[in-house]
Structure 1
Amino acid sequence: MVILTSFPPPDEGIRHREEATAAYIQSRDLGKGTLYIAESRVSWVGQDSSGFSLEYPSVALHALSRDLRAFPEECLYLMIDGDLGEGEEESSENGQDDEQPASEIRFVPDDKSHLEAMYKAMSECQALHPDPADVGDSDDDGVYEDADEDDEGAEYDVRAAEQQRGCHQLEADAGNGDWEAEEPGDEPMETGQFEDAEPDH
């Protein structure tokens, strides 16, 4: 769970710092603050000095969302393992209590031209913290050793995550192997909504 608390921002290993960035947890608007994408964690500090930090292993997926039908502003989208406190009712109503809960966080900078830099910094930092379970699963298929060979699998992971959370048409870089949130054995569905999902061969 993400709990808002007062804490100092990170002072080491910061790859990107973005001021005037609004944070949304699920549909909850936390207001504007400063986003810190550091090598150790992702932190957001609001104008009242309260904020939250995320450990990279808890981030199941990150992507750029430019579909204004899914969300009214372009943003850096994160899917987080675990329920942040607003999805319990929906989960029980749908009878999906046996599935692992997931929550959505969006970071919306005032300057949308900085989104690419935010995404790049996020990708670089998350690559420093591979999930131990993913590393174990990748021993046989070389997920981390040969990222180029796993482009199609990464594309499927993004799409499967969108279908689960109802956030369609995310623009994701399929060359990033950090999004292994699903098992890539199933047959992928449509690929037309992914603008950046072409394999890099």
Structure 2
Amino acid sequence: MPVTILTAQPDLSNEVVRHSESGVELEVLPPLRGITENMKGDLNITESQVYFWSESHNTGVALWYPDIIIHAIMRQADREAIYCQLGEGIHFPAQVAENGNNDDEEDEDIMAELYFIPANGDSLEAIYNAMSQCAVLHPDADADGEEFEEEEEWYANPSDEAELNEVQRAALDHLATVFQPPVNGKQTHENDDGAFEDAMEEE
């Protein structure tokens, strides 16, 4: 199922906007056919969708929250970004598969990843929080009526990994090697004094 591609700047007059950020770069993997550089534009986190619009490319995207199976803050030496992984079978039109093909059968195997790279790295927390709050408004229809509570928004994991499908398990294994979840809005470090260990053991 393809992502919604915008051909005109989105009308947000009837949207509840939780966060807006200008000067955001969007990197898409696998890359889009014909796009040789990151698009730069405006990111709007609304209660209904995530909107990105690039004036220079005269194009944009709209993402439904249920289609985003993972979103996280990524901090590496050369890049700080909001990472998003789309669900199985959800991808961009004309997105090039790893083998260089974009046949219909190959499209279904694409694992689409997005990196929203703000000009100001200090805005990562605000973007992440807004996405988390809006995602809670769109619970998974396959979750058997279970909903995450707001205090569980920070990198909440299912209690039983068996409930994850193969793609989601692989994604979590990959993220575990790349991302470090924040604690109270700050990155954790190996030399932390263990102030949170007792609380975790009591749960």
| 1:144 matches 2:148 | yes
Contact 2:26 2:117 in 1 (8 A): yes
Shift of 1:104: 0.3
Distance 1:146 1:74 in 2: 25
Structure 2 stretches lacking a partner, 5+ long: 32-36
Q: CA 1:151–1:8 in structure 2 vs 1: closer, same or farther (change >3 Å)?
A: closer
Q: CA 1:103–1:38 in structure 2 vs 1: closer, same or farther (change >3 Å)?
A: same
Counterpart of 1:52 in structure 2: which amino acid? Answer: V
- Return the match for 1:42 from 42, 45, 50: 50
Distance 2:22 2:177 in 1: 27
Superposed CA deviations along residues 113-165 of structure 1, whole A, max 9, x for unmatched, are 000000000000011001101x21xx5xx5636976x955379778741546x
Number of the residue aligned with 1:16: 19
Which has the greater radius of gyration? Answer: 2
Query: Equivalent pairs: percent with the same residue?
Result: 28
3-state SS in 1 of match to 2:79: coil
Superposed CA deviations along residues 155-176 of structure 1, whole A, max 9, x for unmatched, are 9778741546x8841233699x
Decide which structure has greater helix share: 1
Distance 2:110 2:66 in 1: 15
Distance 1:22 1:163 in 2: 26
C-alpha RMSD over aligned residues: 4.0
Contact 2:136 2:148 in 1 (8 A): no
What does 1:104-183 correspond to in 2, within 5 Å?
A: 104-133=113-142, 135-136=143-144, 144=148, 153=158, 160-163=170-173, 168-172=177-181
Q: CA 1:6–1:170 in structure 2 vs 1: closer, same or farther (change >3 Å)?
A: same
* TM-score, reference length from structure 2: 0.65
Structure 1 stretches lacking a partner, 5+ long: 176-191
How many residues align? The count is: 169
* TM-score, reference length from structure 1: 0.66
